[in-house]
Amino acid sequence: FTLPSGNIGCVMQSDGVVRCDIRQRDWAPPALPTDCNPNYDFGQGLILGATARFVCATDTALIGAPVLPSGSTERQGPYQCRSAAGGVECLNLDTGHGFSMSAAEYRIF
């Protein structure tokens, strides 16, 4: 799904992973970790399995998927994402871990 602003796109994969990428942001991701290939993009989004972390990948979740209206929730298995004005929050209902992301800030919990 895509947020109404078109700035954030998310994919809820059948293998039990949620990933959201952001096009424009006012914040910077942490330093590139040593296990991320330096030729890959890092920090363009967040990924959630049992816990949340930054994405290190060559692809994107900004794929022009259908819009998830603000205030709406999408759920697949133990994962739930809620679209809000300007951002998204995704949660692993089994572990309680997740992330929120907007152009202004991100939070991993």
Q: What is the pLDDT of residue 14?
A: 74
Residue 108 to residue 71: CA distance in whole angstroms: 20
81: which 2 tokens? 């994402």
- Name the token pair of 7: 């700035």
Report the predicted TM-score, pTM, of the whole model to 2 decimal places: 0.92
**Bridge partners, 57 (sequence order):** 41
CA 100-81-40 angle, 5° bins: 60
pLDDT tens column, 36-78: 998 899 999 999 998 999 999 999 999 989 999 999 999 999 9
Provide the sign of the torsion angle of the four alpha carbons 21, 23, 29, 35, taken in this order: positive
Residue 13: pLDDT above 90? no
Which whole number is the average pLDDT over 96-107? 97
